[in-house]
Structure 1
Amino acid sequence: MNKLVEVKNLKQYFKVGKGQVVKAVDDVTFDIYKGETLGLVGESGCGKSTTGRTIIGLYEATGGEVLFNGLSVHRKKSAKEAKELKRKMQMIFQDPYASLNPRMTVADIIAEGIDIHGLAKSKEERMNRVYEMLETVGLNREHANRYPHEFSGGQRQRIGIARALAVEPEFIIADEPISALDVSIQAQVVNLMKKLQREKGLTYLFIAHDLSMVKYISDRIGVMYFGKMVELADAEELYRNPIHPYTKSLLSAIPHPDPETERTRKRIIYDPSQHNYKEGEDVRMREITPGHFVYCSEAEYEKYKAMHS
């Protein structure tokens, strides 16, 4: 499989107050393969959105590097290279209410990237591309001259998806794209994203805290806890066989549709003090079973290996 995105020892630290530093992303490493969806999950404040924004270059990395098709995202590039990289990597934001300019028509919102990258040779071609994008995301061409406030949350998120698609990207970071939507609309947006992925060969980083929805869309899932990636595995494997105690805790919190099962469901509470690593101890992502990585010490690795051999 071809690696499209390589994240190597990525760090994103923020200074807060006098001499204090928040390690929002702390030495995170993973790859995203062409055509796959990598889900990134964790509680609010774990660093998953910061990871996405640093990968795409909205934040300058404190350390480490991100490669897209072998090209560094954060190193200095020519204006042409930087522009092309921005076209190939797009983002769908969490809040469809805040991410669309209320003073712009839907046509101008979708065509913004088309204009910047010179992808239409005439006004007619520009509008045809806008109409095509609207139809691609399940809206119709009559919507082009309306303003964002005239649409529901689900429709606005479709406009956001159309805006991202308009420049023909290869890679899309979807930062909690369904968390602001009604549950009934969430599945529609996720199904649309899956359909577009099949049709256009897109690669996704799908960031969310809803584990059941992440499993539905993702090929592999990475779990983050306080800036660290603590587990990474195929979606099915992670659900069937979680190894890190924090992952087990997250999975135990998923509500069950059956009332009887829900009544007896045992919630696992994660206690971080069970990982009191010593200064200088070799703690890193280790492969427990093929393709299943867990952040652990040498002693924990031996224990996990014995349990899952």
Structure 2
Amino acid sequence: MKKKAWREAGTGYLLLAPTLFVLLLFIIGPIVFAVFLAFHKVQLLGTSTFEFVGFDNFKRMAGDLRAKIALWNTVKYVVIVVPCQTMLALVLAATLNAGLKGQKFFRIVYFLPTLTSSAVLTLIFMWMYNQNGLINHLFHAIGLPTYNWLGDPKVALNAIMMMNIWSTAPFFMVIYLAALQDIPDSLYEAAELDGASAIQKFWYVTVPYLRPVTSFVVIMGLIGTFQLFDQSYIFSAGSGGPNNSTLTVVLLIYQYAFKTLGTMGYAAALAFVLAIIILIATLVQRRFSKEESLY
């Protein structure tokens, strides 16, 4: 029996070997190496050197003003974008699930931004945000003030927020739309018999039923928004400007890793701290959603 069990286990691990090899090489290996780099002063160009510095890279963050600005920008971005994209996705899904005329057409139209490349979408919005672009022309036509969307530190990050809310909400809308199909009609019929209005049915039937889906959407939103990089990079040509207003933690990591000599270890330490922040935010959200589910 033992030989047979060992033979079966060996066959299973042999079949798993290609997948395990890929996981070790491309996922677990880079994570372990990044943690290793976080405790070293690293020079990768030319002759590679690794000097163990302990927690010096982590201590350096306390006096790094740009790291504090990047963290503040990232947190502000997360706090605004995640709730907005979640609510917009839920409203769009509920609207398309209401049986309106032409809803199949609108589902396709709403989902188009998700199919567009992030870089291409950013370039399109940069054209729209130009001082002589479409948005300022529309604002001027209806008597609203125009903005220097790309050059004003007060509005540059807000411009990226609006673009990402518009482009990411359709993806989560599809998730909500699939979940809405599973809500039993009997719940709505019972609420209707009790005299509930359309808004009351949405608030007291739809929203509570979708709490597990909302938890998933929020967690995915948290992970994605904390990792904002490409839009910020393209908007600012990699500088995080104007005046560090679009500098995010991931963009700062890129700058230290590939633009500044001898700071690869510090960049790895920043990446490690960012991973811990994302993990804590995810755990807090999961804890909060579990407490909500008790009621």
Question: What's the TM-score once normalised by structure 1's chain length?
Answer: 0.24
TM-score (norm 2): 0.25
Q: Which has the higher contact order (CA 8 A, sep 6+)?
A: 2
- Tell me which structure has the larger Cα radius of gyration: 2
